[in-house]
A and B are shown apart, each in its own frame.
Chain A
Amino acid sequence: MAYDHYLEEPGSLEIAWQSSYATQRGSGDFLSSVLEFEYGVTGWWTTELYLSGQSTLSDNTVFTGVRWENRIRPFAREHWINPVLYVEFENVNGADKSMLAVAGHDVEGEHGEPNAILREEREREFEMKLILSSQAKGWNISENIIAVKNISNAPWEFGYALGVSRPLALAASPRPCVACRENFTAGLELYGGLGDRHSFGLPNTAHYLAPSLAWSLPRGLALRVSPGFGLNSNSHRFLLRWSLAREFSGFGPALRRIFGGRP
């Protein structure tokens, strides 16, 4: 999915459950799930820990590994294009199907083997993104350029994610409301792989087009649904993502109070 340039508020913790259901030709469909802990360290640095697993129909359920992600905003002020630097280290096994980013030659066929075989493979990778994001007239336009390097002797892999989104209403209503248009944001994402250093380009890569709808609920809850459609024969035909997130504002100061520090 495409990141924009907005970071977690300092001291806030967001816990999110994100799941993806994908159809799989030649094997069982699967449901992957990711538990995310996102914390705003400062106004310019957000760090995030992911725990991921998946269940494959007619196979089993496996824990697939951890990711640690950091997003850093180099410029203090808003610009026409706002860059954010993204660095992630992931330690997952080959059964990981969370597809948080599609890069290189990540294609549907890789997910078709039984979990017992897939989990034998260990993937330790650094993933870097240049996130470019703009805000204009209520629209957010984001471009993510992705580079992934396995720490083994594997070539650099590349990918992209593009996103555009807009709230359904730009002005807020004066009365409290849950289902009013200002609380909904609709978007469209396009993401996929761009091959690797030896075979850069579109051949043998997967690409997806995914509309999305996000709903901001009271008490810091947010719900997001995004059906994705594979754009070529290397892609899963259908991918349904949904997530539920809860933000705990002031988590950091509250924790400091517990341990006797000043808020």
Chain B
Amino acid sequence: MKAPAFLVRAALMLFITAFCISSAGAQANSPAAPEKSKFDYQELARAPEKARNRRNPLENNTDAPAAGRKLFEKYCAECHGADAAGTGKAPSLRADEVQQATPGALFWLISNGVVRKGMPVWSRLPEPQRWQIVRFLKSLGAPEPAPQPVIN
């Protein structure tokens, strides 16, 4: 009887240890500056050519950026920040590396995540929703409209 009781205690200790490991790991790898996040955009370059060249089927869908914003706020803003400018946990999505990446590369990255560096796999979202997020991300890099001249 003593051995199983020990196993229960050991299990609880391991549960607590798991939490501590994750805490320590995150502290060791979460610098304050967003640009020094564990994820450094290199993963985008690892997208296979076929994936990079995929076109966004919702490229001309006028609702897609708004739908993508809604999905971003629900699933992505926690780590990337409400304004997508990055946090200590995940990098800015307004950076040139993201804005210059092809829609296919972004779709590939969202689908596969960067599991070893803490970004989950988002293939649980149906493909159209992932493409909607890509449209929203691309809209972040759109140039600001020029200010209208003031006519007196």
Contact = CB atoms under 8 A, between A and B. Distances in A.
Interface stretch (B10-18, B91-99, B137-145): B10-18
A76 interface: yes
Most B Cβ at <10 Å: residue of A43, A47, A261: A43
A5 B127 CA distance: 17
Interface in A167-220: 167, 170-176, 182
Nearest to B77: A249
Interface in B61-103: 63, 66-68, 70-71, 78, 88-89
A43 B116 contact: yes
A224 to B, nearest CB: 15
A78 B127 CA distance: 14
Interface residues of B, number: 45
B32 interface: yes
A175 B115 CA distance: 30
Contacts of B22: 10-11, 39-42, 252
The 8 closest A-B pairs by CB, nearest first: A174-B66, A171-B128, A170-B126, A43-B115, A138-B126, A172-B67, A41-B22, A174-B63
Contacts of A151: 4, 7
Interface of B: 4, 7-8, 11-12, 14-15, 18-19, 21-23, 25-27, 30, 32, 58, 63, 66-68, 70-71, 78, 88-89, 111-121, 123-124, 126-129, 132
A7 B11 CA distance: 20
B23 A252 contact: yes
18 contacts: A4-B124, A10-B120, A40-B120, A43-B116, A44-B115, A47-B18, A70-B18, A135-B124, A172-B71, A172-B128, A173-B63, A174-B66, A174-B70, A252-B19, A252-B26, A256-B23, A261-B27, A262-B30
Given A138-B126, A138-B127, A262-B30, A41 B112 contact: no
A242 B34 CA distance: 40
B73 to A, nearest CB: 9
Contacts of A76: 112-116
A47 B118 contact: no
Given A6-B121, A42-B118, A151-B4, A167 B126 contact: yes
A30 interface: no
Interface of A: 4-7, 9-11, 39-45, 47, 49, 66, 68, 70, 73, 76-78, 89, 91, 122, 124, 135, 137-138, 140, 151, 167, 170-176, 182, 249-250, 252-253, 255-256, 261-263
Contacts of A47: 15, 18
Contact of B118 (A4, A10, A68, A256): A10
B105 to A, nearest CB: 14
| Secondary structure class of chain B's binding surface, majority of residues | helix
A73 B14 contact: no
B120 A173 contact: no
Given A43-B114, A78-B121, A176-B70, A261 B14 contact: no
Nearest to A12: B78
Nearest to B30: A262
Contacts of A40: 22, 120
A76 to B, nearest CB: 5
Given A135-B124, A167-B126, A170-B127, A41 B18 contact: yes
Contact of A172 (B23, B25, B70, B124): B70
A122 B1 CA distance: 10
Given A174-B70, A249-B78, A91 B4 contact: yes
A263 B30 contact: yes
B15 A68 contact: yes
A196 B97 CA distance: 55
A196 B130 CA distance: 43
A10 B91 CA distance: 15
